[in-house]
Amino acid sequence: MSHLILQSPSLSAAHVEQIAALVSASGVQELGPTAVRLLEADDSEKESVAKQCEAYGMDFAFLPQIDLLREMRILAMDMDSTLVSIECIDEIADAVGRKAEVSAITEAAMRGEIKDFSESLRRRVALLEGVPETALLQVYEERLRLNPGAERLVQTAKKHGLKVMLVSGGFTFFTERLRERLSLDAAHSNVLEIVDGKLTGRVLGDIVDAHGKAARLKDLAEQLGATADQIIAVGDGANDLQMMAHAKYSVAYRAKPVVREQAAFALNYSPLDAILNWFRLSF
């Protein structure tokens, strides 16, 4: 038996009742207007629940127990299309009319079709040669938006003592600004080479790829003495999977199919702070 958390921006009482009957729940607790907890749910019905939730536009999570959020130690997040709503590199490419070309490589990499992320990143960055540095600031100020629920998730996690880390295959130009803006504990990403105010089309130093993301999370976990049971990791692309494998709470957010298949949990409809409904927040 498990608890079953159901969430949707437009939660229907009728749909909740149907799923409660399906899992023979002993009761229903309201967690707010967009979330409920079904008690003593039969988790052997997970496949049926998944089908129903997809049909109803609902997210679900089976949990054997509801952990205290303050017992977690780390929240690790990807940046592009996870913490923020855009792929920064695609928007930079738009400044020089190469968005379609760059986006095609980005999409293939995220779906897992290009196995070498480092090579795919170098190919994309090479197409940015000559882009003025001012274009990066323009992307940050005019196009970059936090995804719904991102700020509340980060603030609540920090309030409960978690270390919040941004681990991105993107660029320090953006991750450092987000680190300061959200008071993140750490941010790791790639450095674009800029000479005379223009991008050279090269990346400096080691590339933060799938292995690099996982290594940064593992390092922080070792520093804090955190186990996998105390880690929440959120991502959307194939290069997040190694990082997510280090977390009990691996979360696929608006993710590619390959990520949804391997993650422990998925948020396909709800905002990022829906993660908080899987935990007890009281002290």
> For residue 283, is pLDDT > 80?
no
- Single out the residue of 192, 183, 178 nearest to residue 163, CA to CA: 183
The mean of the pLDDT values for the chain is 95
Q: Any catalytic annotation for residue 80?
A: yes
Q: Which residue has the higher pLDDT, 282 or 239?
A: 239
At residue 108, the pLDDT reads 85
pLDDT tens digits, one per residue of 131-163: 999 999 999 999 999 999 999 999 999 999 999
> For residue 234, is pLDDT > 90?
yes
Catalytically annotated residue among 43, 59, 67, 80:
80
Residue 64 phi, psi (nearest 5): -60, -35
At residue 279, the pLDDT reads 98
pLDDT tier for residue 253 given thresholds of 50, 70 and 90? very high
pLDDT tens digits, one per residue of 123-133: 999 999 999 99
Q: Where are the domains of the chain?
A: 1-66
> For residue 88, is pLDDT > 60?
yes
- Single out the residue of 47, 209, 37 nearest to residue 122, CA to CA: 209
pLDDT tens digits, one per residue of 7-32: 999 999 999 999 999 999 999 999 99
> For residue 96, is pLDDT > 90?
no
Q: How many helices (H) and strands (E) are present in the chain, helices listed first?
A: 11, 11
Torsion on CA atoms 82, 35, 63, 81, rounded to nearest 10: -10
Average pLDDT over residues 71-90: 97
In three-state secondary structure terms, 273 is helix
**Is 1-66 in CATH node 3.30.70.260?**
yes
What count of Cα atoms within 13 Å lies in the side-chain half-sphere of residue 49?
Answer: 25
Catalytically annotated residue among 78, 90, 94, 236:
78
At residue 208, the pLDDT reads 96
The predicted model scores a pTM of 0.95
